Amino acid sequence: MRSNADIVVDTLEKAGTKYVFGYPGGQNARFIEAMHGSKVEFVLVTQEACAGFMADVYGRLTGKPGACLSTLGPGATNMTTGVGNAFLDRVPLLAFTAQMGKVWKGRTVQMQIDHQKLYAPITKWTAELETGKVYGIMKKAVETALAEQPGPVHLDFPEDLAEELSPETAGEFSPAPPAIASFDPKALAKVEELLRKASHPLVAIGLTMNRAGATRELLEFVNKHKLPVVTTLMAKGQIPEEGSQLVGVVGRARRDIVAEYYRPADLVLAIGYDPVEFNYEDWVSKDLPVVNLNTVPIDIASGYSVPCQVIGDIREILEGLLRMDRIEHQWDLKALPVHRKKLYQALTPRQKNFSPHHALLAMRQTLPKDGILVADVGAHTHIIGQLWDTRGPGNFLVSNGWSSMGFGIPAAIAAKLVQPQRPVTAVVGDGGFLMKVGEINTAVRLKLPAVFVVFRDRYLSLIKVKQSRKEYHRYGVELFGSGYASSNNFFGAKVVVAREEEEFREAFKKGLAGNQPVVIEAVVDPAEYDVII
């Protein structure tokens, strides 16, 4: 006989989930106790949204379900922000919420709300654990989280149920998500026909490529046919930044210049493109046909041309397409390097003062090839999205489906915890930093030597730019007064203030070489945002 809490921990061990990120409460104490001494480690965070963000990153980097835990009521509502991130960024995650004992169900009780109604819109499935059914519920939960498209599952865990003893045995607890259905081979012939008829076929890739395991096949395909490629923000790294047919990132800084090159396109071959990042309607005209190669059918407005879809395993689809003979097209590939140079120059305008792009280029020159960059949401993300060379897939973490400010700090902590051998740095704006600065304490407590770079420009710069373009007043966006004085320490982490490029470069280099978390406060001039974004 074991408690249900012990059984849940056993399922997490068997599912390959090593950490549960969360915050304690009276109703989840038994669950946390069950983790003590097990192979599943409870990681205390400073706020429940961060538990969701960290579980999300665990899922991204391992392919196993991440796990987060809150107490009831306000703890559960806090955690929804991180869980929603996993939902729209397509990441497998298990979200546990503690609940009052079953005797209180339906009663008016302090802090008690219906967690399942709360989580239903932002999860793939929500359930309450039951004695005698834990293994079955957890098997379905893991399989649902991992099934294409992956995402979070919510599990309510009543306090008394966690304590209850059960004779339940694991049996054949080996969760296996359903395989992606085979694609229709006849559809490949249609794709080839369309590609051969097109004079300017354009490849567009999206975040589904990150879990397709098909980077090699993608590169072989676009190189064989010399096809230009546009990418979404989260798919950066699938195509090399230099020496390839990369045109640029849709929906980010100087998208107008990116569009100049792909404007002649008469066919879009969308491979793993997920419109949750950037809708087709925002950059594809109605008379431009879109061919969808994906795990799910296309999501596009009526009136758009979709002459063919191939739904299935992307790697297998690309393997099929690689059997095609080389196609002929009319793209001017000699103009592509000129285009890339024009884009780079637009992203790096001459600036008298220390500016965001100066810091980013210094970071790129210093961060090792296998280093992980985590980008928070803000004005700086637009520049990073277009300027940063990821040097391969898996080196860049950002939220672009949910796009929550505050993602950067907890995401970097989780990345360093999961892959401690790799250098990890986060770039956050001062707005996002203020939202989750308390999590620096977690990095200090866990002794994780990540480098947190804060672009301090005193404003919510992205909103300030939008206000300016609409000729609104600059109102409600100033974060610091002119008398703000920098600190030398945040919760035990050293703070280094850098006001010019070489000072910043040296601080970043020392931060990467250190064995403790460090915060670098880069005092930047945000003027370039007005012309770049």
What is the second-level CATH architecture of the domain 2-166? 3-Layer(aba) Sandwich (3.40)
pLDDT at 478 (0 to 100): 87
Residue 261, judged by CB atoms within 10 A of its CB (0-12, 13-18, 19+), counts as buried
Rg (CA), the chain: 24
According to the model, what pLDDT value does residue 77 have?
97
For residue 242, report the phi and psi dihedrals to the nearest 5 degrees: -120, 150
Give 375's contacts (C-beta < 8 A, 6+ positions apart): 381, 384, 385, 388, 396, 397, 398, 408, 426, 427
What pTM, to 2 d.p., does this model score? 0.95
Confidence (pLDDT) at 431: 93
Backbone angles phi, psi at 310, to 5 degrees: -120, 110
Beta-carbon contacts of 250 under 8 Å, excluding residues fewer than 6 positions away, are 204, 230, 231, 232, 258, 278, 282, 283
Which pLDDT does position 133 carry in this prediction? 95
Which residues of the chain carry a pLDDT beneath 70?
none
Q: Per-residue pLDDT tens for 200-217?
A: 999 999 999 999 999 999
Q: For residue 479, what pLDDT is reported?
A: 85
Residues of the chain with CATH 3.40.50.970: 2-166, 348-532
Give the residue range(s) of CATH 3.40.50.1220 domains in the chain. Answer: 185-338
Phi, psi values for residue 416, rounded to 5°: -70, -35
pLDDT (0 to 100) of residue 474: 87
**What is the rounded CA–CA span in Å between residue 106 and residue 375?**
43
Structure tokens at 133: 């059914």
pLDDT at 485: 85
Q: Rounded to 5 degrees, what are φ and ψ at 317?
A: -60, -45
What fold characterizes domain 348-532?
Rossmann fold (3.40.50)
Question: How does DSSP assign 348-377, residue by residue?
Answer: S---SS--HHHHHHHHHHHS-TTPEEEE-S
**Assigned CATH topology for domain 185-338:** Rossmann fold (3.40.50)
- pLDDT, tens digit, 9 for 90 and up, residues 88-143: 999 999 999 999 877 777 777 877 889 999 999 999 999 999 999 999 999 999 99
Buried residues in 215-246 as b, exposed as e (16+ CB within 10 A): bebbbebbeebebbbbbbbbbbbbbebeeebb
Q: Residue 458 has what pLDDT?
A: 84
Do 23 and 51 touch, CB atoms closer than 8 A?
Answer: yes
With contact defined as beta carbons under 8 Å apart, do 154 and 97 qualify? yes
Task: Give the end-to-end CA distance of the chain in Å, rounded to a whole number.
Answer: 61
Task: Work out the number of other CB atoms within 10 angstroms of the CB of residue 481.
Answer: 7
Q: Scanning the structure block, which residue is given the tokens 């694991």?
A: 170
